[in-house]
Amino acid sequence: MSRRDAKSALYEQFARMGKGLSNSKRLELLDLLSQGERSVESLASVAGLGLSTTSLHLQGLKEAGLVASRREGTFIHYRLTGEDVGALLAMLRAVATTHLAEIDRAASKYLGGNVLDPADEVDRSELLQRVRAGEVIVLDVRPTLEFHAGHIPGAVSVPLEDLEKFLATFVNDEEVIVYCRGAYCVLAYDAVRTLNASGHRARRLHEGMLEWRLAGLPVESGAA
Amino acid sequence: MSRRDAKSALYEQFARMGKGLSNSKRLELLDLLSQGERSVESLASVAGLGLSTTSLHLQGLKEAGLVASRREGTFIHYRLTGEDVGALLAMLRAVATTHLAEIDRAASKYLGGNVLDPADEVDRSELLQRVRAGEVIVLDVRPTLEFHAGHIPGAVSVPLEDLEKFLATFVNDEEVIVYCRGAYCVLAYDAVRTLNASGHRARRLHEGMLEWRLAGLPVESGAA
DNA sequence: ATGTTATTCCAGTAAAAGCGAGAATACTGG
DNA sequence: CCAGTATTCTCGCTTTTACTGGAATAACAT
């Protein structure tokens, strides 16, 4: 084997992982998996994909070394192969946001309105400090299972769909900080709008759980 | 446009950048560009690709926001769009190395022999400290143009092809530290072998110029 | 065993990517 | 303005990818 061929073979290997990141549906799946392991069917329904397609993408991701699977009864749970995969995903998003102007437009279409207004965002250190001082209420608006897989200590789990119900009993006027999966997760944006519309002071945590964990900040798992 | 569609559109944008990383030849091109800007023809010859194919890949990378181009006379010089692109590339390599076992095998085939022996490697801080103390000679074995685009302060430019010639006049018995482009660049491995074979004490800098720069360490440009 | 459920495997199809060879284009220097 | 050079565009051609609907598997419960 020539030097050239050996070099190609090596870069071919790196490209295997690159291929995993080269499709929007696969990125959606990775994004979901960054919150904890999930079954194929659950991934398919959230990502809006057919089952066989989802299965195929997951096998592609496994081939790329980005995910691994575990059998539990009839279910097969997929998960990221490591923390570093989440970091890679976050960096891809960050670099893409910096260099592709279309992302801002697509993001504001998806997340709604004035996404870029930083006045509504709290950074991680501020949240940490204020929740420890008991000055704020932290709301985790992801689905319950994701909350159980890991959340910010002290956060209350209120899945977005239960927010209205929660508000009915929420007479407190403390400030609320809302978070969800990560940088481009829509849940917290929606929640902040709902909270503000019903007269509460609410802001969104900058980014979300993925980046919180990557920053090495404390994570609690199980029920609140 | 539905929520689903808006979400897809957003992830489609991230996938654009992912596609840039999904082909081995494109990764080779990015790797070369991480050392500084280059013309199309120069990239094509080093990567072993046809001119039209190279041009097409470069346009793909431009579409992905990973590279930009600049015209100078009849030449068009391509470059990475930012330092963060180099960081993304380095992280992709690192994550792939962690999770794809085949990479070790492909790497040792390409780089030759006992790649993994860490005894032959010097880390960045050790190099920095010892070159400042004047205890070692640092050899940059990349092509001259890449050396000019940016090198470790105090390093001597000896392109690999000129190494034999250099050795003829090199009677010093100080230790030599060799570096080249980055983690999987073959030049420094070859150079260390040549140096050792002719009785010199030589070790390789861990990784290379790309990672040195990303670590925020001092870089000098222009002639030595 | 048998039926149930979650997942994977298997064609088959349409679309896209990768590639080289040669024509076309864009700039430079007489 | 014209020849020369670097790059891009345009075809064809082959390979790969994305996806679907239905058959096949694997573990489980009865």
Angle at A184 between CA A178 and CA A190, to 5 degrees: 45
d(CA B103, CA A60): 17
Question: Rounded mean pLDDT of B162-173?
Answer: 89
Which residue(s) pair with A156 in the sheet? A139
CB-nearest to B18 from A13, A22, A94 is A22
- In chain B, which residue's Cα lies nearest the Cα of A110? B6
Confidence (pTM): 0.94
**Residue A74 Cβ < 7 Å to strand C:** yes
- Mark yes or no for CB contact B106/A9 under 8 Å: yes
- Gap from B26 CA to chain A (nearest CA, Å): 9
CATH architecture label of A3-82:
Orthogonal Bundle (1.10)
**Residue B53 Cβ < 7 Å to strand C:** yes
Q: Is the model's pLDDT at B173 over the cut of 90?
A: no
Which pLDDT score, from 0 to 100, does residue A1 have?
66
CATH no. of B3-84: 1.10.10.10
Which pLDDT score, from 0 to 100, does residue A91 have?
98
Residue of B2, B5, B17 to mutate when probing chain A, most A C-beta within 10 A:
B17
* Average pLDDT over chain B, rounded to an integer: 94
Residue A185 designated active-site: no
> Does domain A116-214 bear CATH number 3.40.50.1370?
no
Count of pairs with CB atoms under 8 A, one residue in A, one in B: 163
Q: Which of A30, A180, A210, A214 is catalytic?
A: A180
B101-214 matches B3-84 in CATH topology: no
Q: Is the model's pLDDT at B224 over the cut of 60?
A: no
- Gap from B15 CA to chain A (nearest CA, Å): 5
DSSP chain B: --HHHHHHHHHHHHHHHHHHTSSHHHHHHHHHHTTS-EEHHHHHHHHT--HHHHHHHHHHHHHTTSEEEEEETTEEEEEES-HHHHHHHHHHHHHHHHH-THHHHHHHHHH-S-TT-GGGEE-HHHHHHHHHTT-EEEEE-S-HHHHHH-B-TT-EE--GGGHHHHHHT----SEEEEE-SSTT-SHHHHHHHHHHHTT--EEEESS-HHHHHHTT---B-S--
Which pLDDT score, from 0 to 100, does residue B114 have?
64
Q: Which nucleotide is nearest to A71 if distance is taken from CA to C1'?
A: D27
Which pLDDT score, from 0 to 100, does residue A115 have?
59
Which pLDDT score, from 0 to 100, does residue A61 have?
98
What is the percentage of chain A residues whose pLDDT exceeds 70? Answer: 97
| CATH fold group of domain B101-214 | Oxidized Rhodanese; domain 1 (3.40.250)
**Residue B67 Cβ < 7 Å to strand D:** no
Q: Is the model's pLDDT at B168 over the cut of 70?
A: yes
- Mark yes or no for CB contact B9/A100 under 8 Å: no
CB-nearest to A27 from B6, B14, B81 is B14
pLDDT digits (tens, 9 = 90+) for B58-91: 999 999 999 999 999 999 999 999 999 999 999 9
Show me where the domains of chain B are located. 3-84, 101-214
Q: Is the model's pLDDT at A172 over the cut of 60?
A: yes
* Average pLDDT over chain A, rounded to an integer: 94
What is the percentage of chain B residues whose pLDDT exceeds 90? Answer: 88
Nucleotides of chain D touched by protein CB (<7 A): 4-10, 17-23, 26-29
Question: Rounded mean pLDDT of B26-54?
Answer: 96
Which pLDDT score, from 0 to 100, does residue B148 have?
95
**Residue B58 Cβ < 7 Å to strand D:** yes
DSSP A149-170: H-B-TT-EE--GGGHHHHHHT-
